[in-house]
């Protein structure tokens, strides 16, 4: 399945149904009076996170979503039926932005979260509402209110336990393919990976999700290279695995380049736990390996792992180090209380408790 992490959609909620102009007509009742019913409410447009999705590719083929209009009111004070809602199914980790692509509407981080993107129009009043002491037979009714129409951007930030970062051709895709069943494109040229790839790694009967992020180059936070759009995927990971290729002439500089881009992007990316590994060591002899390991250790301030996806050297040790940090992060993290439905001033949480919003 092709990965797509950004999509543009057009939504419109349903119009409200019009009120009815009707009068009661029965035998022997000369002046029955007005009995026009109200129009039905237009359908809403919702967004909901579901399990089993990890891309926004479906929104490339369907971009327009419209809820149905409420039914018009009828005589005998019959209210029209409400319009049907429309729900956009999105992966966990999806953010919804206004048309300017900057104003955040909602951030959906938990499975089952729902958010109303556009409210349907209210139905119009029937003529029964307008009867007064001076006008016993009003011959007008209200039309239904129009629905809301919006252009929105959907942006997906992957939720993975560990993120692979590094310069292009640092061996990230090869690492992912060797420890998971993911099959990313692998070739000996920069920017082989054009989209993030996900894989599930298993070590000592413990599973965690790895995300292969496209390579970063100097200026990535400003959009150079593939751009900064993929740096957002790093935000939700618990730990970073920073791979530095042993084929780099200056491994210390290569490490600092990526580190600088993470710092420049902000959002506390550099505060995340980091594991550093010198990759592709099978191309070096012992003397060169020792030299580059020492240089990289000086740059990052810690002893880097030495790994080779080709020979398998050091792979198990790195996976166990990742697992230990992920387990520790999961233990320290408190369960999130995420609002799922909002109605007036009440928030319904996952625990089923009602909490009143703070009053000003």
Residue 95 exposure: Cα atoms within 13 Å on the Cβ side: 18
Model confidence at 154: pLDDT above 90: yes
Q: Does 215 appear as a known binding residue?
A: yes
344 is a domain residue = no
Together in a domain, 138 and 184: no
pLDDT score for 15: 97
Q: Is 296 annotated as a binding residue?
A: no
pLDDT at 337 over 60: no
Alpha helices in 42-134 (DSSP H): 58-61
Q: In this predicted structure, what is the pLDDT of residue 215?
A: 59
- Which whole number is the average pLDDT over 55-60? 86
> 357 labelled as ligand-binding?
no
Say whether pLDDT at 55 is over 60: yes
User: Is 151 labelled as part of a ligand binding site?
Assistant: no
**Does 15 share its domain with 146?**
yes
For the beta carbon of residue 190, count every other beta carbon within 10 angstroms: 13
191 and 104 in a single domain? The answer is no
282 is in an annotated binding site: yes
* Residue 181 and residue 240 in one domain: yes
Q: Does residue 142 share a domain with residue 64?
A: yes
Long-range (24+ apart) CB contacts under 8 A made by 328-337 are 329/238, 329/239, 329/273, 330/238, 336/109, 336/110
For residue range 175-233, list pLDDT tens digits in order: 988 888 766 444 443 434 456 777 888 888 888 888 887 756 544 444 444 445 566 77
- d(C-alpha 79, C-alpha 19), whole Å: 8
Q: What is the pTM of this model?
A: 0.67
Could you list the residue range(s) of the whole structural domain that residue 19 is in? 1-156
Residues 234 and 292 both lie in one domain? yes
Verify that 66 and 196 share a domain, yes or no: no
**Residue 309, in any domain of the structure:** yes
Mean pLDDT (the chain) is 82
Strand residue runs (E) in the chain: 6-12, 45-49, 64-66, 86-90, 94-97, 104-108, 114-118, 149-156, 162-165, 197-203, 206-212, 239-245, 274-279, 305-306, 341-343, 346-348, 354-356
Radius of gyration of the CA atoms of the chain, in A:
29
Our count of domains for the chain comes to 2
Task: Report pLDDT for 183.
Answer: 61
Tell me: pLDDT of 31 over 80: no
How does pLDDT run across 101-138, given as a tens digit for each residue?
999 999 998 999 999 999 999 999 999 999 998 998 99
Q: Same domain for 17 and 108?
A: yes
User: Which CATH number fits the domain that encloses residue 218?
Assistant: 3.40.50.300
166 carries a ligand binding annotation: yes
Q: Is 93 helix (H, G, I), strand (E, B) or coil?
A: coil
Confidence band for 250, pLDDT divided at 50, 70 and 90: very high
């Amino acid at each position: 399945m092709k990965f797509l992490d950004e999509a543009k959609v057009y939504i419109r909620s349903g119009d409200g149904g019009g009120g009815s102009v009707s009068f009661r007509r029965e035998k022997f009742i000369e002046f029955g009076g007005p009995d026009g019913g109200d129009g039905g409410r237009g359908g809403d447009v919702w967004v909901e996170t579901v399990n089993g999705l990890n891309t926004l590719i479906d929104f490339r083929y369907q971009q327009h979503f419209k809820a149905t209009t409420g039914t018009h009111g009828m005589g005998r004070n019959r209210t029209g039926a409400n319009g049907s809602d429309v729900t956009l199914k999105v992966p966990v980790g999806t953010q919804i932005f206004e048309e300017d692509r900057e104003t955040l509407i909602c951030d959906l981080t938990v499975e089952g979260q729902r958010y109303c993107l556009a409210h349907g129009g209210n139905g119009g009043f029937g003529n029964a509402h307008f009867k007064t002491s001076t006008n016993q037979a009003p011959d007008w009714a209200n039309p239904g209110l129009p629905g809301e129409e919006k252009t929105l951007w959907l942006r997906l930030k992957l939720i993975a336990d560990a993120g692979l970062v590094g310069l292009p051709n640092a061996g990230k895709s090869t690492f992912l393919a060797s420890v998971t069943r993911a099959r990313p494109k692998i070739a000996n040229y920069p920017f082989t990976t054009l989209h993030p790839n996900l894989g599930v790694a298993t070590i000592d009967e413990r599973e965690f999700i790895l995300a292969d992020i496209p390579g970063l180059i100097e200026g990535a936070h400003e959009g150079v290279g593939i751009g900064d759009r993929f740096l957002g995927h790093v935000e939700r990971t618990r730990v970073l695995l920073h791979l530095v290729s042993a084929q780099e002439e200056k491994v210390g500089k290569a490490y600092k380049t990526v580190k600088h881009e993470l710092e420049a992007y902000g959002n506390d990316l550099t505060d995340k736990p980091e594991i550093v590994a010198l990759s592709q060591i099978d191309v070096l002899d012992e003397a060169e390996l020792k030299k580059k390991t020492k240089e990289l250790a000086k740059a990052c301030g810690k002893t880097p792992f030495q790994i080779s996806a080709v020979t398998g050297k050091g792979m198990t040790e790195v996976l166990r180090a990742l697992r230990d940090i992920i387990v520790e992060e999961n233990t320290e993290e408190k369960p999130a209380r995420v609002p799922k439905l909002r109605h007036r001033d009440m928030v319904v949480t996952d625990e089923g408790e009602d909490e009143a919003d703070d009053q000003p």
